Amino acid sequence: MLFQVEMTVKVPHEVDKVMFERLKAEERARAEGLQREGKWRHLWRVAGRYANISVFDVADAGELHDIMISLPLYPFMDVRVTALCRHPSAIDPE
């Protein structure tokens, strides 16, 4: 099942910068692992914002939820999820 996920990171000014840098490194490693597994199919930066639009390919909403809450930066994110289905006029098989 495909989901479009928009993630916007909102970092409080008082956050410990060293801790946040560590979380960003952990987030990158987690995202790369999910991409290698085929779960995180697309990852696009939103220009001018600390945000991304991604496409996940997972079994169901429960699996997506588990992935999202496993992300190290999740506590700092505003997340919007949209379920996707294939459009009948699409010519690309995937």
- Quick check: is 45 in a domain? yes
pLDDT at 13: 93
Looking up tokens 């060293």 gives: 18
pLDDT digit string (tens) for the chain, length 94 residues: 999 999 999 999 999 999 999 999 999 999 999 999 999 999 999 999 999 999 999 999 999 999 999 999 999 999 999 999 988 998 976 6
Q: How far apart are CA 25 and CA 32, in angstroms?
A: 11
- Quick check: is 27 in a domain? yes
pLDDT at 7: 98
Query: What CATH code is carried by the domain that includes residue 61?
Result: 3.30.70.1060
pLDDT at 59: 98
Domain with 54, as residue range(s), is: 2-84
Q: Is the entire prediction scored with pTM above 0.85?
A: yes
Residue type, 73: L
- Of all residues in the chain, what percent are helix, strand and coil, respectively (each to 5)? 35, 30, 35
pLDDT at 92: 78
Give how many domains the chain has, as a whole number: 1
Using an 8 Å Cβ cutoff, are 11 and 76 in contact?
yes
- Quick check: is 89 in a domain? no
